C-alpha cells in the first residue's frame, strides 16, 4: 500500500485534538508560507516588487505577517 505524506499530516492533526483538522492544516500551511516569505523572500528585490505591484497582502495576511514578524524565533 502506497501512502502519501499528506495522510500522515492529516493523521497527526487529527490526533492533536484540533477542533477542525482542515482549519488546523490550513493554518499550518499558511504559517509555513509566511515564515518562508519573512525569512527568505523579503530580501528578494524582484519578489518585493511583485508584491507591491499586486497591491500587497489582504488585511488578514498583513496582520498575520505583522504578528508572526514580531515573534522571537
Q: Do 44 and 7 touch, CB atoms closer than 8 A?
A: no
For residue 56, give its domain range. 5-69
pLDDT in tens, 38-71: 788 878 899 889 888 999 889 988 888 787 666 6
pLDDT of residue 63: 87
Cell of 23: 482549519
Cut 0.95: pTM above it? no
Q: Domains in the chain: how many in total?
A: 1
CA nearest neighbour of 21 among 13, 29, 30: 13
Amino acid at each position: 500500500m502506497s501512502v502519501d505524506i499528506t495522510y500522515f499530516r492529516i493523521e497527526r492533526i487529527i490526533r492533536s485534538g484540533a477542533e477542525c483538522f482542515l482549519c488546523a492544516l490550513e493554518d499550518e500551511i499558511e504559517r509555513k508560507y509566511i515564515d518562508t516569505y519573512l525569512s527568505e523572500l523579503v530580501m528578494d528585490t524582484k519578489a518585493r516588487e511583485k508584491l507591491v505591484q499586486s497591491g500587497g497582502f489582504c488585511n488578514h495576511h498583513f496582520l498575520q505577517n505583522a504578528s508572526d514578524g514580531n515573534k522571537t524565533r
